[in-house]
Structure 1
Amino acid sequence: MSERAHYATLITAPQLAALQQSAPEAVVVIDCSFDLANPAAGRDAYHASHVPGAFYMHLDNELSGPKTGTNGRHPLPDAEALVARLQALGVNDDTQVVAYDRQGSMYAARLWWLLRWVGHADVAVLDGGLQAWEAAHFPVDQIVPEEPQLNATPGNITRKPSLVQMVTADIVQKYLGHADKPVVDARAPDRYRGENETLDPVGGHIPGARNRFFRDNLQADGTFKPAEQLRADFTAVLAGAKPQDATLQCGSGVTACHNALAMEIAGLTGAALYAGSWSEWCSDPSRPVATGPNP
């Protein structure tokens, strides 16, 4: 019997269905659906319909940590608490984790990045989300599975050396204006320009940051663009800088992970996440703010 396939960026609906059929004990599926305007909506949608066997993880309560007012809207969770939660869902060190949502993978990519942050390589995003699963005519379920810890069989995932890079606000500020250390902002163009800001108290962007709206990583059907197209797109954004010298940010460190995933698909590895992102940056009035279009 051949070793099962390992997925580290994307997994298609047919690939996930085949994996659930051939090695159900080797895969844990997690629904990350969320709505910033209605934090209960994602869990409600999960209860109404989800990939069979999928668990649910909430952006505010499980994929983020406590807010202090100066560390952004979605600070990183405590790493050990995250690992403990994954153990409770039956995740082992050799488990294939699959994350998905209903929002263009914007929240699933956060879980993808977090798993890599705690050193777990076998994590992939369901390409196209629940919509792609349903479009392929695979069944959905309303049954919420029991968590393995209720049966005294939690997973054995452990924290391992991180597979990702991070930077702080101080590091971002240190390299402001350095073209070889680009900052890439994943927010919608109007918010990047400082227009129509409804989530944060200050509109604008980090001076010198380049705008790459995360939704530009997707095709019309919600699946990611081919690797070659993503590579061309991000190579243009980097404008000669090395991918490992880039810093990815957004409003609160969530959709920046979407750009991180897209770059990984493209083979442009090593970009760092500024987890606090704009919501942390603008909380300190001493930090500079820019408005207007891409430089």
Structure 2
Amino acid sequence: MNYIIDKEWLLKNLNDSHVRIVDCSFSLADSNKGRQEYEKNHIPGASYFDLEKDLSGEVSEHGGRHPLPNIEKFIDKLELAGIDENTTVISYDQGEGAFAARFWWLLQYLGHEKVYVLDGGLKGWNEGNYPVTSDVPTFNKATFKPKINHDLLASMEEVRTVSGGQDSKSILIDSREERRYLGLEEPIDKKAGRIPGAINKPWFEGLNSGYYKQAEDQKHRFTDIKPENEIIVYCGSGVTAAPNYLALKAAGFQKVKLYLGSFSDWISYQENEIE
């Protein structure tokens, strides 16, 4: 199934009342930057969802740096943006891909079937000289009826089982860059290394200048994984693993889960080993 929408399609359907657009622009280095950039320029009709305020919950001892948001609050925000379970929703960011994919995964988790990521993000949209605005839209509040798909979310206990070798049919994928995977450097988390047994598939290798590679190219990235394998993807805090999750689904893999807490959650348990 195709989860990617091109800018030409969005331009053509910009005024469709059944389509909602979500701007997920964010900077991990400056948490206010995404909102500021949205207020300057965004795709007409786009609502803004903040990674830390809307797409993540409160940070605590466990759960990682970007834990699952409070579902009731997240649904309320969706409803205020005029989104119900039948709305076609397009998410985008500045072109990095990870923040839009995080939103996409969350809606998939809520059982929403008509959610897509804008290929190339705002950068690609601007390259096409397509319209932008600073106007903040308002919508009539919708009613969103979730059908939570728990099969998309891997728990720490599941990851521990796979890591320990008790589940030989499952694969752990570390989505971070190779140097962090190898434990050679760790710019964010308190410990360096990886979850034992994980293989490395850096998330950005599934994109080319913000555009997702074609399904055949994604399949080539994952040729060492059997289609019948159950796959759990993780990264540092469950954000950059989302593009890998999307890429795996685009490549035809059916049994894919996201370990949302990821490495930052794993290391919060003193008994968990690090490789």
Same topology, TM > 0.5: yes
Unaligned runs of 5+ in 1: 1-6, 291-295
- Asked if 2 retains the 8 angstrom alpha-carbon contact of 1:128 and 1:223, the reply is yes
- Asked if 2 retains the 8 angstrom alpha-carbon contact of 1:11 and 1:125, the reply is yes
TM normalised by structure 1 equals: 0.88
Give the match's secondary structure for 1:246: strand
- Asked if 2 retains the 8 angstrom alpha-carbon contact of 1:8 and 1:123, the reply is no
Query: Any residues of structure 2 matched to 1:71-82 within 5 Å, and which?
Result: 71-82=63-74
Q: What is the number of equivalent residue pairs in this alignment?
A: 273
The offset of 1:195, in angstroms, is 2.3
Query: Does 2:41 correspond to 1:49?
Result: yes
Task: State the alpha-carbon separation in 1 of the partners of residues 237 and 82 from structure 2.
Answer: 29
Q: 2:119 aligns with which of 121, 127, 136?
A: 127
Query: Does 2:156 correspond to 1:174?
Result: no
Matched letter for residue 9 of structure 1: Y
Quote the residue 1:189 is aligned against. Answer: 178
The offset of 1:88, in angstroms, is 0.8
Task: State the alpha-carbon separation in 2 of the partners of residues 163 and 202 from structure 1.
Answer: 29
Give the match's secondary structure for 1:107: helix
The offset of 1:167, in angstroms, is 1.5
Task: State the alpha-carbon separation in 1 of the partners of residues 24 and 58 from structure 2.
Answer: 19
Q: 2:83 aligns with which of 88, 91, 94?
A: 91
Give the match's secondary structure for 1:33: coil
The offset of 1:241, in angstroms, is 6.2
Task: State the alpha-carbon separation in 2 of the partners of residues 241 and 89 from structure 1.
Answer: 37
Query: Any residues of structure 2 matched to 1:215-254 within 5 Å, and which?
Result: 215-219=204-208, 221-236=209-224, 238=225, 240=226, 242-243=228-229, 245-254=230-239
Task: State the alpha-carbon separation in 2 of the partners of residues 214 and 120 from structure 1.
Answer: 23
Query: Does 2:6 correspond to 1:12?
Result: yes
- Asked if 1 retains the 8 angstrom alpha-carbon contact of 2:95 and 2:123, the reply is no
Quote the residue 2:109 is aligned against. Answer: 117
The offset of 1:132, in angstroms, is 1.1
- Asked if 2 retains the 8 angstrom alpha-carbon contact of 1:50 and 1:141, the reply is yes
- Asked if 1 retains the 8 angstrom alpha-carbon contact of 2:162 and 2:172, the reply is no
Task: State the alpha-carbon separation in 2 of the partners of residues 9 and 282 from structure 1.
Answer: 32
Query: Does 2:60 correspond to 1:68?
Result: yes
Matched letter for residue 235 of structure 1: T
The offset of 1:191, in angstroms, is 1.1
The offset of 1:180, in angstroms, is 2.6
Task: State the alpha-carbon separation in 1 of the partners of residues 233 and 160 from structure 2.
Answer: 14
Q: Which stretches of structure 1, 4 residues or longer, exceed 4 Å deviation after superposition?
A: none
The offset of 1:157, in angstroms, is 1.7
Give the match's secondary structure for 2:170: coil
The offset of 1:129, in angstroms, is 0.5
Query: Does 2:263 correspond to 1:274?
Result: no
TM normalised by structure 2 equals: 0.95
What RMSD, in angstroms, separates the aligned Cα atoms of the two structures?
Answer: 1.6
Task: State the alpha-carbon separation in 1 of the partners of residues 30 and 210 from structure 2.
Answer: 22
- Asked if 1 retains the 8 angstrom alpha-carbon contact of 2:95 and 2:124, the reply is no
Cα gap change, 1:163 to 1:15, in 2 (>3 Å): farther
Matched letter for residue 230 of structure 1: Q
Task: State the alpha-carbon separation in 1 of the partners of residues 2 and 227 from structure 2.
Answer: 25
Cα gap change, 1:289 to 1:234, in 2 (>3 Å): same
Matched letter for residue 168 of structure 1: S
Query: Does 2:146 correspond to 1:159?
Result: yes
Task: State the alpha-carbon separation in 2 of the partners of residues 272 and 93 from structure 1.
Answer: 21
Unaligned runs of 5+ in 2: none
The offset of 1:103, in angstroms, is 4.1
- Asked if 2 retains the 8 angstrom alpha-carbon contact of 1:46 and 1:56, the reply is yes
Task: State the alpha-carbon separation in 2 of the partners of residues 257 and 95 from structure 1.
Answer: 21
Task: State the alpha-carbon separation in 2 of the partners of residues 117 and 70 from structure 1.
Answer: 20
- Asked if 1 retains the 8 angstrom alpha-carbon contact of 2:2 and 2:250, the reply is no
Give the match's secondary structure for 2:89: strand
- Asked if 2 retains the 8 angstrom alpha-carbon contact of 1:8 and 1:121, the reply is no
Task: State the alpha-carbon separation in 2 of the partners of residues 242 and 41 from structure 1.
Answer: 41
Give the match's secondary structure for 1:182: strand
Matched letter for residue 213 of structure 2: K
Query: Does 2:194 correspond to 1:202?
Result: no
